[in-house]
Chain A
Amino acid sequence: MSRTITIILFLALCLSTAAQNNPSDVVIGGQIKDAHSGEVIPFVNIQIKGPETYNVESDDNGEFKIAAKPGDYKLSCSRTGYRKVVLNASANQWNNIKMIPDNQLAEVVVTATQSRSIESASRIDREAMSHLQPTSFTDLLELIPGNISQDPKMGAANTIQLRETGNIAASGSKTNSPNYAISSLGTLFLIDGAPINTDANLQEIPNNVSTADDSRSTVNRGVDMRSISTDNIESVEIVRGIPSAEYGNLTSGLVNIKTIRKAGKITARFKADGYSKLFAVGKGLKINENLIANLDGGFLNAKIDPRNNYENYKRVNASIRLTYNKQNNNVAFKWTPNIDYTASLDDVKDDADLNYGGINEYKSSYNSLKLTNNMRWTALKTSPLKAVDINSAITTQFDRLEQRKLVAPTRYGLAPTTETAGEHDAQLIFSEYIADYLCDGKPVNAFFKIKGHLVFTPANIKNEIKFGVEYNYTKNFGKGQVYDASRPITATGWHHRPRAYKDIPALQNLSLFAEDYITAKINEHKTELQIGLRSVSLPGIGQQYVIGREIYLDPRINVRWNFPTITVGKNKWKLALSAGGGKTTRMPTINYLYPNPAYTDIIQLGYYDTKNPTQHSRFNIKTYIHDPTNYQLQPARNTKQEIRIEADCGENRLSVACFTEDMTSGFRFANSYQAYTYKDYDESAVDGSSLQAPPNLETIPYVQKKKLSGYSSAENGSRLKKEGVEFQFNLQRIKPLRTAITINGAYFRSTYTNSRPMFETVSMVVGDKIIADNYIGLYDQDDGRVNRQFNTNFMFDTQVPEMGLIFSAALQCMWYIRTQSIYKNGIPIAYLDVEDGQLHPYTEDSKKDQYLQHLIKNYNDDVFLLNEIPVACYVNLKVTKKIDRFLELALFVNRLFDYTPDYTTNGFTRRRNVDCYFGMELNFKL
């Protein structure tokens, strides 16, 4: 409760200081458009000269706005590709500025740019995207330091990882451990200010029955980037440092996507490569002075392997976006509603030779309809309250996962069909059957955010304050897991029962935030301080959850010191140092908070009648039902720190960031065990020859027995530690060669381990004793690995605007990938004994025990050796060429050349074969 009061006090403090705003400020603002096309022009440099000089940049909508001291001002607008415009500014009025395109065509930025803002982020613009020729959002990540180009992996969910190596197996290949799902779950995706909420995604097949689903399910994994088309994206900002307090429910980073909102010609794009064909079309319509409508749609048809017709992925997306601007003398109003539709379909059939009569098929579809409604009021007159934003969105999703499978019990199967606890007879499955499994999910998400901006400048210290409330609601209204329990999708070991998702309560997420961005000038030095606080809470979840009683606070701070510009010869030198730190908190998903009930089925009587098996056999089962909900579950909380240095010399620019992140409360499912009692009937007492019906349980003697069994529940048991250095160096374009060089790269050291002791079972049977039924060891050891990687990418882009030609060559070098398993001795610290169901310390005597000795896990010392994949370098070429006004041709070849030397580990030589990935596309502008 005290925390709530703190927040209220904090907000009140912000508001009261805001009220002391200087009343004499004026607002200078406007919008810049292309004089010919009428399209808005973002990133125009605007110098506002008068009693004071201000420098601003126009935003995505071509708009700019500042609060200035009263007086007469001159606006000077410049951007490459346009003639410079100088005009007198009208204070407190909207300046509509038109810029005339330069005769010379513009050079464009085809790489990601490192932000100059206080947050450490990369920004990718439309031009860079068109040169990259992406199939889905996944491909854009190549431009972020630490990444190199990857072939499309359309047969698996594409999840994001920022500032980390990812989980790596001993061989160096990436793995997809659910224990570290927080990696991708902890990155927030925003599209036009509205989050992609995946908390109610429950589309999965339990028991690892389907390999197709194992790689595609994104339960607890966040956003599948395959489903995000890049064709209507204007710009993407990927925040990897300490994000503004405005953004929450994340641990790792933020992906902020802005869609295209401007009038323009019809654009059409056809892309074909070895894996996929893509078609996209879009148009920005100017309906009247105030209203622009953007319509677009796209279709992707991808194969996972060009030689395999049995697996494919399809994506359809369509979007209608309106941009409405209206203003009077006091207020500018901007209304930007969207309707977005995205569908995707994974279809996997087994190979004809393995698919018995075409029966086995996996289909997973996702249909999402999203309504976004954003409104912004900007005060044009001087007032402390500069703007108010209201963002809201409603998403309805229709998810359907179907698996059909021919199930052949290995001999006989048992279908424990009851949904109630207690003793009952199970059904013996005699022969093969076709099992149908349906997972029907209908997540509905609602999002509402209101945010106010205050600006005031006491004593030349400018305070820009953001404060607001964000509310997210998500609930799954689906039918859930639907199947015939007597015909489960596997005949052995099916411990699940159908579950309706609509019975699971909704999840609500409420946050308050406030942030002050303070800038001050001390002589020629400019200092910036961004200090914010965000609260995170799950109201309405119920007091039984610890997480429901708490309010978690994320304090975040970024500071930046800009040293004065020094001119040496012709060059201007600039230096800025930044540092930041803070906490980020990710709330658990519905799957973690409301896991499926756990069923433990124990066979009490297994009587198989050899003479009349179908009529007289009897299998009696005792079923225990557990609610595996962990009411103690806490959110995953990450502590982030970084320092950054940025240096500019003319147009050369270097940016280096060192970061460290540590999270010990990552989510994972961990096993809990306890002793269960059951009756062990003596089947040999049944006289099969005299039976006229299944044997009567009351006539069969039994003994009470106990066994250990377990279920998994969500825990804060994963640790994810990220450390590293990211850098980007942009060299000024070499004029005679028309070539610019960008070098970026990163060193990552990522540690993935468990953060608390874990139970592990052993499989053997010694004598007649099943060890795992009687003893289970508790091991206080790390199951994880420490991975390191270092890469640099050299990008040479040559632009000949008068020929409409952009040619880029990227030399991407992964200098090494190292992975090492953390040492473990394999000796349990304690063991569970079935006799009392209690933990006992594991002692020297235990090591000599006939049964307990088997609990020691032996590890070969070589397991803990460092594995290294040495240098691998690739050359990627990309060309875009304007054929005429209407047509642009682009093509790319990734890994056209490679340097991947053979290497030897433990006397074993590995050769690496590299295939190139290539494709081309046509872009029409009509």
Chain B
Amino acid sequence: MKNFQLPILYASLSLLAFAACKDEETTFVPHSTLSITVDKPETVLSVEADTFTFKNLSSLVESKVPAQGKEIRLPVGFYNCSYKAKIHYQNGEVISEGILQGLKESIQVTNNATPNFTLNTYIFDNKEDFIIEEIFFTGTLRSTGTQYYGDGYVKIYNNTDKVLYADGIALLESKFLSVQKYDYEPDIKEDTFTVHAVYVIPGNGTDYPVPPGKSLTICDTGIDHRNANPNSFDLSEASFEWYDQSNSPSNMDIDSETVPNLDKYYCYTYSFWVLHNRGFKSYAIARMKVDKNTYLKDYFYQYKYVIHVQGGIFPMTQEAYKIPNSWILDGVNCSVEPERVWNILPPSVDAGWTHCGLMDADKDRYFKSVRRKMLYVDDNGRRILKDSNNSTEDFNTETIPSIIEEQRSAISADGTKATVVTYDGVQPVSN
């Protein structure tokens, strides 16, 4: 990565006292001028409205300073310095709007030295809404080695600095597989996402507040799975579950009384929905912009394509629902390297792809998930996760799922337990 420096800010040290007027006495606090180098990723094309926020660690007073222009002078003390800017950046083949953010912690401003530091910055999606933090689609194994279903989950995360409401957020699975690509007629993939499962978080708009730095766990079945599979874990405390009501014993789903259900809009099957456990699908979250009935009426999609395989030619007609890409908050393409053919979600949503398993039906993929990389822990102890709209860059692959880490449950069919807790599957939690 090349170092890219925009106008560098220099300031000279000033010992001039600045009087803060108070009723009883006047105190002189010495100020210093800071020299900050902002290190930007090479893909950043243009920057606007960039600001520094300095937070005094003793007074907890925050002050915002435009990054361009005037010199920056601060009273002596300890600070955390964060940087934020609106940017345009090269995202694969397209140019995307985004946010550039960075943080430098515990900067000491003294009166006899010029604080001189480099601030690393990261590109973020500019939607300022939920992002997908983790997808656990592979499932667990029983002690005999057979697959167990029902403990898959998706975590969505508030990566912003404000409270977000989860009401009306849809969890979506693509209809298409990343390992097969056909010419779908009519072709709508540029601006819509073809989905075969649409499950929406209920609520009136403010029922499910999520503070900054917190996640929601949306799971398949919100029960303690260890009753059926001692190698699995407890999901009875999850935030939501998708429940597929059926009165047929052949496709019975379990409705947990401790975990609220998602509102089921559409599913391709009357059996139960499970996340694609070999990881060939793309997942997305979106804010539904229309009500359920309007959606079901107006967003039906029928398409045709022809499968050419060794066994012959199979003309297909299928049906699904569609979601405008503009509704999508975040999306993640999944695949496996040897089989991958295309990215189902376009670069405007996800310019890359991630994986759990190195090949199709990889036996080692079980007990593993994809987890978004953490950039840093901010001064409120909040994890800032990487969100550059490119899951190749943003995700750690084949990681131990966060819930398995927390519950220290099994990480393999033989029952070996997880021992380490991490922020993102890689960086360990130090304490």
Contact A614 B296 (CB under 8 A): no
Interface size band for A: 35 or more
Q: Shortest distance in angstroms between A816's beta carbon and chain B's nearest beta carbon?
A: 15
Asked whether A356 and B144 contact (CB < 8 A) given A770-B270, A867-B313, the answer is yes
A residues sitting closer than 8 Å to B (CB atoms) are 169-173, 356-357, 406, 408-412, 414, 416, 426, 430-432, 492-495, 601-604, 606, 608-610, 613-614, 619, 621, 678, 680, 683-684, 686, 688, 707, 709, 763-768, 770-773, 850, 853-854, 857-863, 865, 867, 905-908, 910
Interface residues in B188-224 (C-beta closer than 8 Å to A): 221-224
- Given contacts A430-B227, A603-B248, A606-B252, whether A764 and B257 have CB atoms under 8 Å apart is no
Residues of A with C-beta under 8 A to B305: 860
Q: Top 7 A-B pairs ranked by shortest CB distance?
A: A493-B250, A171-B312, A862-B315, A411-B150, A408-B146, A860-B315, A858-B317
B293 surroundings in chain A (CB, below 8 A): 767, 850
Q: How far is the CA of A621 from the CA of B258 in the complex (A)?
A: 23
Q: Shortest CB–CB separation between residue A176 and chain B, in angstroms?
A: 16
CB distance from B252 to the nearest CB of A (A): 6
Question: Which B residue sits closest to A604, measured CB to CB?
Answer: B247
Mark contacts of B230-249 with chain A using CB atoms, 8 A cut-off: 1 yes-contact digit, 0 otherwise: 00000010000000111111
Contacts of B268 in A (CB 8 A): 763-765
Bound-complex Cα distance A494 to B266 (A) = 26
Bound form: Cα–Cα A411–B225 in Å: 8
**Are B317 and A763 within 8 A (Cβ)?**
no
Residue among A411, A414, A850 having the largest count of chain B Cβ atoms under 10 Å: A411
Q: Is A356 in contact with B228, judged by CB distance below 8 angstroms? A: no
Complex A-B: 20 CB contacts under 8 Å: A410-B149, A411-B150, A416-B249, A430-B227, A431-B228, A601-B248, A603-B249, A610-B256, A686-B257, A766-B296, A767-B266, A767-B292, A850-B293, A850-B297, A857-B317, A858-B317, A862-B315, A867-B313, A906-B306, A906-B313
Interface contact B228-A854, CB-CB below 8 Å: no
Q: Which among A606, A860, A865 has the greatest number of chain B C-beta atoms within 10 A? A: A860
Within 8 A of A (CB), among B261-296: 264-271, 274, 292-293, 296
B251 on the A face (CB < 8 A): yes
Q: Is B145 an interface residue (CB 8 A)?
A: yes
Taken together as a complex, chains A and B put the C-alpha atoms of A430 and B225 apart, in Å, by 10
- Chain B residues with Cβ below 8 Å from A406 are 144, 146
B144–A859 contact, CB under 8 A? no
B249 pairs with A910, CB closer than 8 A: no
In the complex, what residues of B have CB within 8 A of residue A765's CB?
A: 244, 264, 266-270
Bound Cα distance A821, B32 (Å) = 84
| Docked complex Cα distance between A853 and B298 (Å) | 12
* Given A409-B228, A430-B227, A767-B266, A414:B252 Cβ within 8 A: yes
Check B327 for interface membership: any CB of A closer than 8 A. Answer: no
- Tell whether B338 is near chain A: CB-to-CB under 8 Å: no
Given contacts A411-B150, A604-B247, A686-B257, are A432 and B144 in contact (CB under 8 A)? Answer: yes
Instruction: Identify 5 new A-B residue pairs, CB closer than 8 A, beyond the known A765-B270, A860-B316, A906-B313.
Output: A357-B144, A408-B142, A431-B228, A680-B247, A764-B319
Q: Which residues of chain B are near A763, meaning CB under 8 Å?
A: 268-271
Q: Across the two chains, which residue of chain B brings its CB closest to A614?
A: B227
A763–B273 Cα gap in the complex (Å)? 12
Contact A432 B146 (CB under 8 A): yes
Q: Digit string of B128-152 for contact with A (CB within 8 Å is 1, else 0)?
A: 0000000000000010111111100
B269 near A602 with CB under 8 A, answer no
B302 at the interface (CB under 8 A from A): yes
Please determine whether A861 and B315 come into contact, CB atoms closer than 8 angstroms: yes
List B contacts of A767 (CB < 8 A).
264-266, 292-293, 296
Q: How far is the CA of A494 from the CA of B249 in the complex (A)?
A: 8
Chain B residue contacts of A862, Cβ below 8 A? 304, 306, 313, 315
Q: Chain A residues with Cβ under 8 A from B304's Cβ?
A: 858, 860, 862
User: CB-nearest residue of chain A relative to B292?
Assistant: A767
Report Cα–Cα, A771/B224, bound state, in Å. 31
Does the CB pair B146–A608 fall under 8 Å?
no
Question: Which residues on the B side are within 8 Å of A614 (C-beta)?
Answer: 227
Closest A residue to B258 using CB positions: A610
Which A residues touch B318, using CB under 8 A? 858
> Which among A684, A770, A858, A865 is the interface contact of B319 at CB below 8 angstroms?
A858
Instruction: State in angstroms the CA–CA spacing of A862 and B311 once bound together.
Output: 16
Residues of B within 8 A of A408 (CB): 142, 144, 146-148
* Cβ-defined contact, A860 with B255, below 8 A: no
Q: Which residue of B lies closest to A848 (CB)?
A: B297
Cβ contacts under 8 Å, B244 to chain A: 765
Closest to B312 in A: A171
Complex: how many Å from CA A493 to CA B252? 9
Do B255 and A606 touch across chains, with their CB atoms under 8 A apart? yes
Please report the C-alpha to C-alpha distance between residue A865 and residue B314 in the assembled complex, in whole angstroms.
10
Residues of chain B within 8 A of A493, CB atoms compared? 248-251
* Residues of chain A within 8 A of B269, CB atoms compared: 763-765
**A residues near B253, Cβ cutoff 8 Å:** 411
Partner of B249, one of A410, A601, A610, A770: A601
Known A-B contacts A610-B224, A613-B227, A683-B257; A412 and B146 likewise in contact (beta carbons under 8 Å): no
